[in-house]
């Protein structure tokens, strides 16, 4: 079971994903075989019970239990809640600028859900002067032990390196933790090089996406004013033969590109959506299609391509070839997503299966707004995707808010998401059509919070 037992003095905080902007770097441990590391925590194997450790939330129940011949920490809760393990009473302190710390733990779930147990190992560098540096590393575990880790470079002497291990549990579920360590380098370690700013960012662990109409007369708000809870923006649309962006909104190209760069700098993914309700695209001309996408990428680094072909022939072999080729050109983090509607979902599902087999599908989410769709009917469509071999982690929920019968209100969106996630808690997220509509901010605030769970 044990390689070396895992958690020791962790202290911590929930982290925000601003790593590159603030200087925190998530890296595997350790950086070099020639770098010497010393474990800075005690009782990481819980042989002295919970000494040095504490529950990180009011609803967390922390105890030490036997697991074979070893003792492990076990987190649980009476009510569905986020549980957390933190170190007490003191955090690890850095001695010099550039000192590298790697926090790690072995974790496993007792009675995990169908898609495993998700959690997060978080780390904060609390500085004497200046802003704190925060970040986190998500994980998904089952019944077997799995190592999780996160790392940071000290900004200066005296910085506190504080860690927290978190997971969302229901009553009856438990998270076990063992062999906690915080390894500190002896001396300064040069940070790993940062990725190029033009490199694609992979989809977030939980997606809250917003379509943004690009026509100059579409009424879309200025790009930088979209709600902060959005982590993926789908630009609607690329059209034509070769495809090109239909416009730059009312703000113009220079202003739009500046806003897009600012969003990407804070971690918002920019995805090009191709097609649309009346958009003609020729994907049989594979080279021309790819050239059109890469021409936009030269102006604005893209993090993915969204297939939304509704009035264009959609050959499966063309879609698979183009998707794989774009991933080769942009890198494996480049995402391929799909947004079928009710009239073409059967064809899209068949294409999605081929993309999944080719390891090129990242997400598919049906538009549940082109007809009256109940939460039960929406779940039924997701049932079909799952039965076809698409895992919930590659499925999202398409929504549109409005007063007409075939759109959901924000309240109805909340009900539908709860119903679907009750059956499929591992659903990756959802999207909203589109940014100019009344209720967008409320949807991002309320529905986005459910999607991120």
Instruction: Please say whether the structural domain 207-451 has been given the CATH code 3.20.20.80.
Output: yes
Residue 8 pLDDT exceeds 60: no
pLDDT, tens digit, 9 for 90 and up, residues 165-184: 888 888 899 999 998 888 87
Q: How confident is the model at residue 23 (pLDDT cuts 50, 70, 90)?
A: very low
Residue 314 pLDDT exceeds 90: yes
Report the C-alpha gap between 330 and 335 in whole angstroms. Answer: 10
Residue of 121, 115, 169, 180 whose CA lies nearest to 142 = 115
Q: How confident is the model at residue 68 (pLDDT cuts 50, 70, 90)?
A: confident
pLDDT at 101: 80
Report the C-alpha gap between 359 and 240 in whole angstroms. Answer: 27
Strands in 189-280 per DSSP E: 207-213, 232-239, 244-245, 269-276
CB-CB neighbours of 143 under 10 Å: 12
Q: How confident is the model at residue 35 (pLDDT cuts 50, 70, 90)?
A: low
Round to the nearest angstrom and report the end-to-end CA distance of the chain: 30
Name the residue with higher pLDDT: 151 or 302.
302
* Mean pLDDT to the nearest integer, 5-9: 34
pLDDT at 4: 35
- Strand bridging mode 37-39 / 174-188: antiparallel
pLDDT at 407: 96
Distance of CA 340 to the CA centre of its chain: 22
Residue 285 pLDDT exceeds 90: yes
Angle 42-48-50 from CA coordinates, rounded to 5°: 85
Can you give the residue ranges of every domain in the chain? 19-188, 207-451
pLDDT, tens digit, 9 for 90 and up, residues 319-366: 999 999 999 999 999 999 999 998 999 999 999 999 999 999 999 999
pLDDT at 359: 95
pLDDT at 318: 97
pLDDT, tens digit, 9 for 90 and up, residues 208-226: 999 999 999 999 999 999 9
Mean pLDDT estimate for the chain: 85
pLDDT, tens digit, 9 for 90 and up, residues 107-124: 999 998 877 888 888 777
pLDDT at 323: 98
Top-level class of domain 19-188 = mainly beta
């Amino acid at each position: 079971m044990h390689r070396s037992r895992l958690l020791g003095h962790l202290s911590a905080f929930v982290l925000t994903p601003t790593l590159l902007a603030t200087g925190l770097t998530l890296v595997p441990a350790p950086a070099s075989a020639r770098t010497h590391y010393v474990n800075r925590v005690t009782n990481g194997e819980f042989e002295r019970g919970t000494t040095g450790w504490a529950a990180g939330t009011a609803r967390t129940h922390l105890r030490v239990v036997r697991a074979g011949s070893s003792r492990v920490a076990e987190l649980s809760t009476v009510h569905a809640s986020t549980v957390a393990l933190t170190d007490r009473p003191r955090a690890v302190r850095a001695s010099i600028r550039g000192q590298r710390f790697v926090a790690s733990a072995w974790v496993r779930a007792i009675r995990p859900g169908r898609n495993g147990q998700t959690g997060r190992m978080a780390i904060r560098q609390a500085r004497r002067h200046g802003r704190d540096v925060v970040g986190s590393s998500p994980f998904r575990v089952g019944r077997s032990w799995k190592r999780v880790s996160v790392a940071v470079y000290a900004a200066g002497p005296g910085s506190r390196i504080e860690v927290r291990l978190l997971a969302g549990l229901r009553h009856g579920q438990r998270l076990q933790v063992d062999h906690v360590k915080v390894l500190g380098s002896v001396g300064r370690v040069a940070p790993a090089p940062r990725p190029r700013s033009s490199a694609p960012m992979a989809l977030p662990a939980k997606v809250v996406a917003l379509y943004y109409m690009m026509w100059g007369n579409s009424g879309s708000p200025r790009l930088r004013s979209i709600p902060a809870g959005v982590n993926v923006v789908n630009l609607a649309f690329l059209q034509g033969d070769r495809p090109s962006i239909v416009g730059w909104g009312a703000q113009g190209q220079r202003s739009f590109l500046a806003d897009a760069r600012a969003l990407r700098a804070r971690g918002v993914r920019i995805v090009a959506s191709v097609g649309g309700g009346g958009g003609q695209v020729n994907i049989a001309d594979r080279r021309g299609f790819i050239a059109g996408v890469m021409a936009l990428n030269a102006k604005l680094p893209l993090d993915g391509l969204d297939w939304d072909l509704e009035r264009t022939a959609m050959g499966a072999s063309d879609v698979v070839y183009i998707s794989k080729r774009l991933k080769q050109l942009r890198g494996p983090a480049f995402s391929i997503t799909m947004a079928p509607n009710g009239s073409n979902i059967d064809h899209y599902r068949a294409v999605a299966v081929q993309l999944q087999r080719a390891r090129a599908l990242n997400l598919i989410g049906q538009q549940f707004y082109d007809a009256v769709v109940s939460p039960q009917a929406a779940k039924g469509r997701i049932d079909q995707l799952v039965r076809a071999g698409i895992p919930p982690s590659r499925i999202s929920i398409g929504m549109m808010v409005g007063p007409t019968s075939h759109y959901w209100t924000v309240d109805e969106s909340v009900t539908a998401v709860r119903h679907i996630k009750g059956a499929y808690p591992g659903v990756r997220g959802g999207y909203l059509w589109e940014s100019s509509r009344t209720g967008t901010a409320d949807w991002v605030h309320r529905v986005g919070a459910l999607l991120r769970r």
